[in-house]
Amino acid sequence: MRTLAFVLAAFANPLFLNGCSTYMCLNTNSKPIYGGTRLDAQVAVYACGIGCGINPTEPDAPDRLMAFAVSTSALADLPFSLVADTVTLPVTVWATCNQMAARPQEEK
């Protein structure tokens, strides 16, 4: 029963929080281009590695079932984040251009 609850939570999460990775990235000062899509991909790969036993686990790393749920949730959120990142592309490009213009010349 507990396993079923984790699987249902993993699949239901993106239905309630569509593009939440994009929302999280837009609430930062940097506003990276396609930040939500990149965040979903990084979380999915890392959590999948823990779930498969590939990544070395730290003492406080989640167990394999939780890693599977997180990885599944990130993969299910990926298409929503891709659409949301595409819609917000003008905002993120503008923010990136402003950040690059504000840097000193030697850093460019």
Range of the domain at 59: 2-107
Total domains, the chain: 1
pLDDT digits (tens, 9 = 90+) for 42-100: 888 888 777 666 665 555 666 777 777 778 888 888 888 899 999 999 999 998 888 88
Quote the CA–CA distance of 79 and 49 in Å, as a whole number: 21
Average confidence (pLDDT) over 26-48:
86
Integer Cα distance of 95 and 68 in angstroms: 34
